[in-house]
Amino acid sequence: MSEQRERVEPAHQAESSLTKVRPPRYDFAAFEAKWRERWEREKLYQADLSHANHPYYNLMMFPYPSAEGLHVGNMYAYIGSDIHGRWMAMQGYDVFEPIGFDAFGIHSENFAIQRGIHPRVLTARNVERFREQQLKRIGNRFDWSHEVATTDPCYYRWTQWIFLQLFKNGLAERKTAPVNWCPKDKTVLADEQVIDGHCERCGTLVERRWLEQWFLKVTNYAQKLLDNLEWLDWSERVKILQRNWIGRSEGLEFAIEIDGMPDVRVQVYTTRPDTIFGMTFVALAPLHPLIPQITTKTQLADVAAYQQTANRLQTGTEHTMTGVFTGAYA
């Protein structure tokens, strides 16, 4: 028994000695807070672009304050772009890394409805949380002295000014066009937001509606946009997506008459005018405004059924070519 006690006691004494020399616990929160405060005090990330020899604008997409907080996917994007900004700073550039909050839109509105809180109150609360509890803590080189919020009148007055300039120069027009409509969120969806005919956010079956809306004539700059893709250091997959979205093509537009309707003409576009004399049919969009006028009585039921089906099939980015006869001839 005495020998066993002699073996245990030295081990216990050694452990006590190690405990006495063990370094204090690393308090990372206090350490990071200390340096954040110093960086802010010294205005380390405030670039004076008016006197910068090598200005560099390092922008990432502003977050939507439409949830209780940012998620790890947001941080993945912000930290990656911040690494790039720091690399450029080490190359001698005066890096300006702005930050703000894209607080206008359906995301914030739906979140406010869900919580039963006025959007202005909820947005201000979320912005405060995003800024103080998350974005500042990750240590990015954001210039908070230039923080913006799209709900701030000082900000959106300039978006309104830009729109007015576009309108005055004939680059904005109002017309009726089909859209993807989510009846639950009560908003228009981009094709990329429609998955198998359903809203990607709430899963509701998407409807196809004709709505009057504003359009910007981006097509006037289609060739410039396509040319600029060539010098961008993007993957070819992304460039192909951009080219498809721009959708520029060269062809011929002409009008054809409908048999028995001398006052009705259908505008036809083709990229192969040399094949016109071999035409066997003309395809119209399912919601084309002339369809009710040219469809024969015997085809009304088939056309109506097809329109309902086609509207569901045509939402999203993948389209299958289908059709039904209207009964009209040209």
Does the pLDDT value for residue 316 go beyond 60? Answer: no
Reported as a single tens digit per residue, the pLDDT across 38-61 is 999 999 999 888 899 999 999 998
Domains in the chain and their CATH numbers? 28-148 (3.40.50.620), 157-246 (2.170.220.10), 252-314 (no CATH)
Contact in structure between 70 and 32 (CB atoms under 8 Å): no
- The residues that bridge with 55 in the sheet, in sequence order, are 94
pLDDT for position 144: 94
What values do phi and psi take at 206, rounded to 5? -80, 140
- Give Dmax over CA atoms of the chain in angstroms: 119
Cα 230 to Cα 4: distance, rounded to the nearest angstrom: 80
pLDDT for position 143: 96
Mean pLDDT of the chain, nearest integer: 87
Q: What mean pLDDT comes out for the span 299-323? A: 74
pLDDT for position 114: 85
Token pair 């910068």: residue = 52
Cα 141 to Cα 295: distance, rounded to the nearest angstrom: 62
pLDDT for position 97: 96
Does the pLDDT value for residue 146 go beyond 70? Answer: yes
| DSSP assignment of 241-278 | HHHHHH-----EEEEEEETTEEEEEEEEEES-GGGGGG
Reported as a single tens digit per residue, the pLDDT across 2-28 is 445 555 555 555 555 555 666 778 888
Contacts by 285-290 with C-beta closer than 8 Å and gap 24+?
Answer: 285/178, 286/208, 286/310, 286/311, 286/314, 287/178, 287/208, 287/210, 287/311, 290/264, 290/266
**Joined tokens for residue 297:** 């009585």
The predicted model scores a pTM of 0.69
Question: From the CB of residue 92, how many other CB atoms can be counted at a distance below 10 Å?
Answer: 9
Percent of the chain residues topping a pLDDT of 90: 45
What values do phi and psi take at 181, rounded to 5? -120, 125
Does the pLDDT value for residue 321 go beyond 80? Answer: no
